[in-house]
Amino acid sequence: MKRAMLAAVVCLALSVVAQGSNVAQGFSLADPPTTKDQVNRWMTELSNWGRWGKTDQIGTLNLITADKRRQALKLVRDGVSVSLAHTIDKEKAADNPRPLGQEMTLDAGGHAMDLYTIWYHGSVITHIDSLCHYSFEGKIFNGFERSVTAFANGCPNNGIENHKNGIMTRGIIVDLPRMKNVPYLEPGTPVYASDLEAWEKYAGIKIGSGDAVFLRTGRWVQRAQKGPWNVAASAAGFHASVMPWLKQRDVALLGNDAVNDVQPSGIDGSPRPIHQLAIVALGLPLIDVMDLDAAADVAARLHRWDFLLTAAAVPVLGGTGFPLNPIATF
């Protein structure tokens, strides 16, 4: 009898500890596995609509306050700057079905000029998504209507021109391949809140309000070793269940070296839940297709994983996003 009672007490204690861990991440043991229905509920539960006013069109970039910018400037100690963008590929490949087109002209005066055609919502051009890139049930972030007719000549609301003042904040690289001592995460590897917390302990860092969080999966290392593949269909990335955690931490900007969402998403009927939840519900801009390898090497050498992030997209009126060259300065 005493042994049975002792066993019951131990089981109860373990349950409480486990539940406490899950609650800290914004979950409880009673939560069902992530499904399309759960994602749809999070569209309401995690919503930032109206948080910064009914007319707001920059979402979580509001979290990058004047104080946050001043704090980020203090992170520059060595004066080393590194690009977080992938150099644009011009060759057609499995992950680049619509490569950049470039026509160069040279006039009689010797002036060289370019005409570019860019399909940048793809898998090889580093770009930022504006808050009109995704919609849900006919709405975009903050409740603005998405009308097919109105959108014919660009987004009337939440276009990339709203980012005109640029982004300057604390950037953080989450380098899971380095932590796991592997060259890269295998395509299809989901990244959970527990992975982000494990990285915090490994790197001695705490993700907080107004931060830009960039996940390195080692995608470009794998591409160099094994060749290109269809990253839009198969890639390591964030699992949808990280979104309550990111909302709790008030992350201002999210990015990775593939398409942010783990692919496949693992959620039937919801192929890109990170894009849907981040862009539409939270108003959280995404940077897709970053190249974090060089900056991760610098961070490892300096033994610090946060830096001053600066980035600015060309303010195209009504744009769904734009190619981007984010800079990390250590």
Domains of the chain and CATH, by start? 38-88+125-329 (3.50.30.50)
Q: Please give the pLDDT value at position 24.
A: 35
Specify the residue for token string 């060309």.
314
Q: Bridge partners of 310?
A: 168, 327
Contacts of 71 (CB under 8 A, 6+ apart): 170
The CB density around residue 111, as the number of other CB atoms within 10 Å, is 8
Do residues 123 and 96 make contact, with C-beta atoms less than 8 angstroms apart?
Answer: yes
Cis peptide bond upstream of 315, omega within 30: no
Per-residue pLDDT of the chain (330 residues; tens, 9 = 90+): 444 444 443 343 443 333 333 333 333 333 447 999 999 999 999 999 999 999 999 999 999 999 999 999 999 999 999 999 999 999 999 999 999 999 998 888 889 999 999 988 989 999 999 999 999 999 999 999 987 666 678 999 999 999 999 999 999 999 999 999 999 999 999 999 999 999 999 999 999 999 999 999 999 999 999 999 999 999 999 999 999 999 999 999 999 999 999 999 999 999 999 999 999 999 999 999 999 999 999 999 999 999 999 999 999 999 999 999 999 999
Q: State the pLDDT at residue 18.
A: 38
pLDDT recorded at residue 13: 42
Alpha-carbon span 92 to 157, nearest angstrom: 33
Q: In whole angstroms, what is the distance from residue 85 CA to residue 208 CA?
A: 24
pLDDT computed for residue 150 by the predictor: 63
CA distances from 164 to 144, 168, 286, 303 (A): 20, 12, 16, 33
